[in-house]
């Protein structure tokens, strides 16, 4: 039976599989027949997907060896994201360190990266018990931890649902977190104006976070504090959240003064309903 032509997300998934295979192969590249065998594709399907990737300058073919490899355009995108993260780290360094000093506990800057979050900064305060819930460079599914909840809550509802579908298979590693629990935390964040850890940190730890938005309302990062629960009892939460927001507003002002920008999905910029809920965040 002939293989059916991939359409929609299936075609996209197979194109991404090809890119991953080429990234693993590195500079030598990969032959068409090897891609077919590795990914279980027919020759016509593999060839059509490769032609599409070549037209979009993500893949190129060596005219001598006929092997396919990642094109410079894709590498440029990767380096651009690294440069963006470095710029945001540099821009926020003083305020993340200042927040750790303000509260005496760990402060983090966590950026959104597709359906994940990545920790860009971590400073620890003066309190003897240090809470090291995440290291710089660590990645988690979007929606895990206070920062993940803050970022997810700032997205339009359609993107929240898309994200939940994508991350659900990975939640087994983050028990007792569930899709329902994340959805509850997103609703609570939108209502209160800040996110809590959602249970992932454990009963004896607490995390608080607020999102950092671009001038068009797109969430690009979150600023958070993590501490032992005794350090932030319910009556102290408003004070700590106020300190986080103060430092977040300082970072936002620096972004505006320096003209810091990032290209984003245009759907994420049209999130009026979400922005109305978060206008006091």
Predicted local distance difference test score (pLDDT) of residue 262: 58
Q: What is the pLDDT of residue 131?
A: 78
Supply the pLDDT for residue 82. 59
Reported as a single tens digit per residue, the pLDDT across 59-83 is 889 888 999 988 876 665 555 555 6
Domain boundaries, the chain: 8-70, 79-277
pLDDT truncated to tens, each residue of the chain (281 aa)? 344 544 556 778 888 888 888 878 777 888 999 999 889 999 999 999 999 888 888 888 988 899 998 887 666 555 555 566 778 888 899 999 999 999 999 999 999 888 889 898 899 988 888 777 788 888 889 999 999 999 999 999 999 998 999 888 888 888 888 999 999 999 999 999 999 985 555 568 899 999 999 888 889 899 999 998 889 999 999 999 999 999 999 999 998 888 776 543 333 333 333 344 344 44
- Compute the residue count for the chain: 281
Residues 143, 164: contact at Cβ < 8 Å? yes
pLDDT reported for residue 276: 40
Helix then strand then coil, in percent of the chain rounded to 5, is 55, 15, 30
8-70 fold: Arc Repressor Mutant, subunit A (1.10.10)
Q: Give the number of other Cβ atoms within 10 Å of residue 132's Cβ.
A: 9
Could you check whether the bond before residue 176 is cis, i.e. omega within 30 degrees of 0? yes
Find the Cα–Cα–Cα–Cα dihedral 98, 102, 103, 109, rounded to 10°: -20
Looking at residue 19, its pLDDT comes to 85
Q: Are 130 and 107 in contact (CB under 8 A)?
A: no
Contact 102, 118 (CB under 8 A): no
**Domain 79-277: CATH superfamily, name plus number:** GAF domain (3.30.450.40)
């Amino acid at each position: 039976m002939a293989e059916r032509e991939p359409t929609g997300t299936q075609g996209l998934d197979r194109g991404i599989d090809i890119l991953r295979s080429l990234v693993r192969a590195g500079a030598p590249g990969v032959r068409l027949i090897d891609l077919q065998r590795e990914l279980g594709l027919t020759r016509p399907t593999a060839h059509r997907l490769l032609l599409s990737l070549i037209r979009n300058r993500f893949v190129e073919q060596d005219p001598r060896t006929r092997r396919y490899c990642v094109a410079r355009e894709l590498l440029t995108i990767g380096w651009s994201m690294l440069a963006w993260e470095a710029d945001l780290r540099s821009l926020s360094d003083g305020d993340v360190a200042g927040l750790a000093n303000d509260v005496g506990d760990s402060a983090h800057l966590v950026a959104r990266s597709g359906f994940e979050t990545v920790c860009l900064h971590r400073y620890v305060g003066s309190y003897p018990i240090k809470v090291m819930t995440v290291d710089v460079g660590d990645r988690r599914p979007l929606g895990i931890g206070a920062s993940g909840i803050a970022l997810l809550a700032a997205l339009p509802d359609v993107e929240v649902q898309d994200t939940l579908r994508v991350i659900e298979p990975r939640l087994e590693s983050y028990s007792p977190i569930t899709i329902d629990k994340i959805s509850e935390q997103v609703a609570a964040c939108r209502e209160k104006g800040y996110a809590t850890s959602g249970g992932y940190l454990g009963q004896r730890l607490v995390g608080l976070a607020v999102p950092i938005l671009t001038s068009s309302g797109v969430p690009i990062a979150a600023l958070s504090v993590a501490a032992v629960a005794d350090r932030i009892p319910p009556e102290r939460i408003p004070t700590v959240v106020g300190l986080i927001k103060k430092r977040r507003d300082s970072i936002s002002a620096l972004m505006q003064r320096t003209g810091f920008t990032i290209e984003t999905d245009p759907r994420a910029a049209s999130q009026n309903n979400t922005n109305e809920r978060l206008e006091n965040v």
